[in-house]
Amino acid sequence: MAMRPLTPWRLGRRSLPVGREYEMTPIDAFQREMNRLFDDFFKGFGMKTAGEEMEELGTFVPRVDMAEDENAFRVTAELPGMDEKDIDINLTREALTIKGEKKEEREEKGKGNYYMERSYGSFTRVLPVPGDIDPDHVEASFKNGVLNIVLPKVHTEKKDQKKIEIKSS
């Protein structure tokens, strides 16, 4: 299965995680170059890019990579500043859904000043999965802000060969 359809477009992200089989079409290259051009142009005026604007509005879009080997599909999501209790993972026949809510508060008190900053954001990422996943053996781990999910493939066992005798009539 090609990895390209499994990696949705994200605003403000310049490099997409792609497999070796990914071939950039002229339309993809044109869109990437136009996004870079506009991002660089608006940065020159001190303005924020579309991705930075979305993050300030409470939209958190985690980076997600998906890789395949002969035994499993491996999903890695970068979720800095989150705890595992803030993350919800669901698997259906069609999709893997990762939901979460990021809450961050910072308070600084000093002599004659007070500073408080709060940041909240929720996200939902839905990744299509192929039908040959073994849902009973899916594993997830979370360490240092990185979520790793292993979606093992269903292996069809090779049956022993059976010799069939030819009868003569």
73-106: pLDDT as tens digits? 999 999 887 888 989 999 988 889 999 887 778 8
Average pLDDT of span 38-58 = 63
pLDDT of residue 40: 74
Domain assignment present for residue 132? The answer is yes
Torsion of CA 16, 21, 25, 27, to 10 degrees: -30
The answer as to whether 161 is a domain residue is: no
Does any domain span residue 166?
A: no
In a domain, 66, yes or no: yes
**Tally of structural domains, the chain:** 1
Please tell me the distance from the alpha carbon of residue 89 to that of residue 161, in angstroms, as a whole number. Answer: 41
Task: Evaluate whether 22 touches 68 at the Cβ level (below 8 Å).
Answer: no
Contact 66/73 with Cβ under 8 angstroms? Answer: yes
Spatial distance between the Cα atoms of 125 and 5, rounded to a whole number of angstroms: 14
Residue 56 belongs to some domain of the structure: yes
State the CATH number of the domain containing residue 8.
2.60.40.790
β-bridge partners, 142: 147
- Is residue 16 in a domain? yes
**Domain of residue 19, residue span:** 4-152
pLDDT computed for residue 13 by the predictor: 44
Q: What does the mean pLDDT of the chain come to? A: 76
Contact 64, 127 (CB under 8 A): yes
Q: Residue 157 — pLDDT band, cuts 50, 70, 90?
A: low
- pLDDT tens track for 8-37: 544 444 444 444 344 567 887 788 788 788
Answer yes or no: is pLDDT of 109 > 80: yes
Which of the residue ranges 3-12, 90-99, 115-124, 157-166 would you say has the lowest mean pLDDT? 3-12
Instruction: Count Cβ atoms below 10 Å from residue 17 Cβ, excluding itself.
Output: 15
Residue 157 lies in a domain: no
Q: 0.85 exceeded by the pTM?
A: no
Torsion angles phi and psi, residue 86, rounded to 5: -90, 0
Spatial separation of the C-alpha atoms in residues 96 and 151, rounded to whole Å? 10
